[in-house]
Amino acid sequence: MSRVSGRSALAALAAVLLAAPAAAQIRAPQAPSSRLPAAQTAVAPGPPQARAPGDTSRGRLLAPEMAGRSQAPVGSRVNDSLVKMIEGKIRCTCGCNLDVFTCRTTDFTCTTSPAMHRVVLARLDSGMTAPQVLAAFEKQYGEVVLMAPPRRGFNLAAYFMPFVGLLAGFVIVGLVIRGWFRVRPKAPLEGAAKAEPEAPAASDDDLKRLQQELEKFEA
């Protein structure tokens, strides 16, 4: 706080001037902090005062250095879906593990992702298509810059292995089941013999009835 306290008188004056036009509509402020200069606590917590319609005047923050990185106004192409799509496929090189779009729009503190965003725009402006932009990033930084491994060479293993696993699983389950059907024991297994006594003889009618009862029970 000591950084701003030297300017407190000037800041207090500015705050009063800013707050005066709508002072009557200010919501109840929090109890002033003992550590903050008067100028800062003059700005009320919570939503600021309502403004007159059409009033778009912008006041200066009292402690801008406390408000995170200063932002530039949003450019016209920031919301372009093509730009977002490309940025969603490129990893920010700041070490955050996020894609460029997510990184630059999350805490808005990264300086790398906005720079990469500008490169994307510049490359699109130079006439590159989306695949060409991605290829240019890959050439510049290597495969690691892409959010998913490019589908070629060894990387194909990444994509195919889960489905190979699924296929292998189906084959294994199929073989196991076939084995069960083939090796169905005529006599109960040794271990099962103790636990599960021989079933009482049942006629076809009994079994049919039992099947029906079981189905009813299951339902």
Which residues from 57-116 bind another protein, rule CB under 8 A? Answer: 57-64, 66-74, 78-79, 84, 88-89, 91, 95-99, 102, 105-109
We find the least distance from the C-beta atom of residue 16 to another protein, in angstroms, to be 15
We find the least distance from the C-beta atom of residue 160 to another protein, in angstroms, to be 10
- Closest listed residue to residue 62, CA positions, set 45, 42, 81, 33: 42
Q: Is 131 in the site for another protein (CB under 8 A)?
A: no
Torsion of Cα atoms, 73 then 76 then 78 then 80, to 10°: 170
Distance from C-alpha of 137 to C-alpha of 115, rounded to nearest angstrom: 13
Distance from C-alpha of 208 to C-alpha of 41, rounded to nearest angstrom: 84
Instruction: For the segment 169-188, give every residue that binds another protein (CB under 8 A).
Output: 169-170, 173, 177, 180-181, 183-185, 188
Q: Is 203 in the site for another protein (CB under 8 A)?
A: no
Nearer to another protein, 48 or 119 (CB): 48
Q: Is 12 in the site for another protein (CB under 8 A)?
A: no
Q: Is 21 in the site for another protein (CB under 8 A)?
A: no
- Closest listed residue to residue 90, CA positions, set 122, 113, 124: 113
17 token code pair: 């001037």
The answer to whether residues 11 and 37 touch, using CB atoms and an 8 Å cutoff, is yes
Instruction: For the segment 22-61, give every residue that binds another protein (CB under 8 A).
Output: 29-30, 33, 35-36, 40-41, 43-51, 53-61
Distance from C-alpha of 1 to C-alpha of 81, rounded to nearest angstrom: 42
14 token code pair: 């500015």
Nearer to another protein, 33 or 129 (CB): 33
We find the least distance from the C-beta atom of residue 140 to another protein, in angstroms, to be 14
Q: Is 162 in the site for another protein (CB under 8 A)?
A: yes
Q: Is 209 in the site for another protein (CB under 8 A)?
A: no
Nearer to another protein, 8 or 105 (CB): 105
Q: How many residues bind another protein (CB under 8 A)?
A: 102
140 token code pair: 């510049």
Q: Exposed, middle or buried: residue 49 (CB in 10 Å: 0-12, 13-18, 19+)?
A: middle
- Closest listed residue to residue 133, CA positions, set 119, 147, 113, 144: 119
Q: Which of 21, 82, 132, 165 binds another protein (CB under 8 A)?
A: 165
Q: Is 1 in the site for another protein (CB under 8 A)?
A: yes
We find the least distance from the C-beta atom of residue 129 to another protein, in angstroms, to be 18
